[in-house]
């Protein structure tokens, strides 16, 4: 059996139906956490639930369908997760979308939707869950931003603004929760092979080419896997990471060194 640093804890993971969110949920579950799997994609979340139940040491789990941009849905989803599993010790906000284009051509609705899911969704989930953590005197919040939230290129205005916002929001939260036993940190992934990147690049080969030679190339010349990002999330979620807060950890194979 692997080490179980999260045994007895509940983790709530958004975007858990796919990619990085699924890898985070599986990593935390493998190491003992009961996992609430929140996503707008019910079928994908059900598949993650199946994978959690198939682990060598299965943990309690529940899949909850929710659009994280809708306040009432978020409150109901958190209530459902708490009723099923108990108060979350860990909150990981992975749900996200990417829509792009130069500012002059950017569709207003695309701008709104990207902010609504990536930034408002993160805010709403933090707002719903952190009071429970404060009341319990313990919590680990990990928000997923992006390298694009810091190193911004042309055509990424909506996405970059939302991801820069996630970093700023997390810093504010870290200060507010500092004396409550609750930390808030950011993981900023580089180019990672998920449905989101497959949608943008088309093929694994095109993602690899971009990692080697594109604008966001990295010196290792590698494409990251969702498990690489999950490892950084798991680090922030550890009980012994309690003195680390308000930080952004870039997992990008050296593409950007702040
Ligand atoms: P992904 O495979 O597309 O997973 C994102 C998940 O979020 C999907 O299941 C998606 O459902 C769900 N989602 C979208 N809108 C939602 C909403 N309103 N409410 C609830 N769930 C929603 O993408 P990923 O690459 O794992 O992305 C995870 C996070 O990492 C995102 O925040 C992304 O911005 C960030 N990130 C990714 C990369 C990368 O290279 N992949 C790099 C930097 C940052 P649907 O599929 O139905 O939309």
Query: pLDDT tens across 190-240, in order?
Result: 999 999 999 999 999 999 999 999 988 999 999 999 999 999 999 999 999
Q: How far is the CA of 96 from the centre of ligand 1 (A)?
A: 4
Query: pLDDT tens across 45-72, in order?
Result: 999 999 999 999 989 999 999 999 999 9
Quick check: 3 pLDDT over 90?
no
Exposure string for 18-42, b = 16+ CB within 10 A, e = fewer: bbbbbbbbbbbbbbbbbbbbbbbbe
Q: Residue 1: pLDDT band by 50, 70, 90 thresholds?
A: low
Which tokens go with 256? 């950007």
Ligand 1 pocket check for 94: Cβ under 6 Å: yes
Report in angstroms the alpha-carbon separations of 153 from 39, 156, 199, 211, 225.
29, 6, 19, 15, 22
Q: Using H for helix, E for strand and C for coil, what is the string for 68-135? A: CCCHHHHHHHHHHHHHHHCCCCEEEECCCCCCCCCHHHCCHHHHHHHHHHHHHHHHHHHHHHHHHHHH
Q: Residue 35: pLDDT band by 50, 70, 90 thresholds?
A: very high
Q: Residue 24: pLDDT band by 50, 70, 90 thresholds?
A: very high
Which tokens go with 108? 């207003």
Supply the mean pLDDT for the chain: 97
Find, among 137, 131, 25, the residue nearest to 79 by Cα.
131
Annotated domain spans of the chain: 10-189+224-251
Q: How far is the CA of 76 from the centre of ligand 1 (A)?
A: 21
Superfamily of domain 10-189+224-251: NAD(P)-binding Rossmann-like Domain (3.40.50.720)
Q: Which residue has the tokens 């490892």?
A: 231
Annotated catalytic residue 6: no
- 3-state helix, strand, coil split of the chain in percent (to 5) is 50, 15, 35
Ligand 1 pocket check for 49: Cβ under 6 Å: no
Q: What length does the chain have?
A: 258
Query: pLDDT tens across 149-174, in order?
Result: 999 999 999 999 999 999 999 999 99
Backbone angles phi, psi at 17, to 5 degrees: -80, -10
Ligand 1 pocket check for 31: Cβ under 6 Å: no
What is the model's pTM? 0.98
Ligand 1 pocket check for 29: Cβ under 6 Å: no
User: Which run of H or of E encompasses 23?
Assistant: helix 19-30
pLDDT above 90: percentage of residues in the chain? 97
Q: What is the pLDDT of residue 163?
A: 98
pLDDT (mean) for 102-126? 98
Q: How far is the CA of 19 from the centre of ligand 1 (A)?
A: 7
């Amino acid at each position: 059996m692997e080490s179980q640093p999260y045994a007895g804890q509940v983790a709530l993971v958004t975007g858990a139906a796919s990619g990085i969110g699924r890898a985070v949920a599986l990593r935390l579950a493998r190491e003992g956490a009961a996992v609430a799997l929140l996503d707008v994609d019910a079928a994908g979340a059900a598949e993650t639930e199946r994978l959690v139940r198939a682990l060598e040491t299965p943990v309690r789990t529940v899949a909850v369908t929710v659009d994280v941009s809708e306040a009432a849905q978020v409150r109901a989803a958190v209530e459902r997760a708490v009723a099923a599993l108990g108060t979350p010790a860990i909150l990981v906000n992975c749900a996200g979308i990417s829509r792009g284009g130069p500012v002059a051509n950017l569709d207003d609705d695309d701008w709104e939707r990207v902010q609504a899911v990536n930034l408002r969704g993160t805010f709403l989930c933090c707002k719903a869950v952190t009071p429970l953590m404060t009341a319990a005197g313990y919590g680990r919040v990990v928000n997923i931003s992006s390298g694009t939230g810091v190193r911004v290129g042309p055509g990424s205005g909506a996405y970059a603004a939302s991801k820069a916002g996630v970093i700023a929001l997390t810093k504010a939260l870290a200060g507010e929760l500092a004396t409550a036993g609750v930390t808030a940190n950011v993981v900023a992934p580089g180019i990672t092979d998920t449905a989101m990147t497959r949608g943008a690049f088309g093929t694994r080969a095109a993602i690899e080419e971009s990692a080697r030679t594109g604008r966001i190339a990295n010196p290792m010349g590698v494409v990251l896997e969702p498990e690489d990002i999950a490892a950084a999330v798991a680090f922030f979620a550890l009980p012994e990471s309690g003195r680390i807060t308000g930080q952004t950890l870039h997992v990008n194979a050296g593409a950007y060194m702040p």
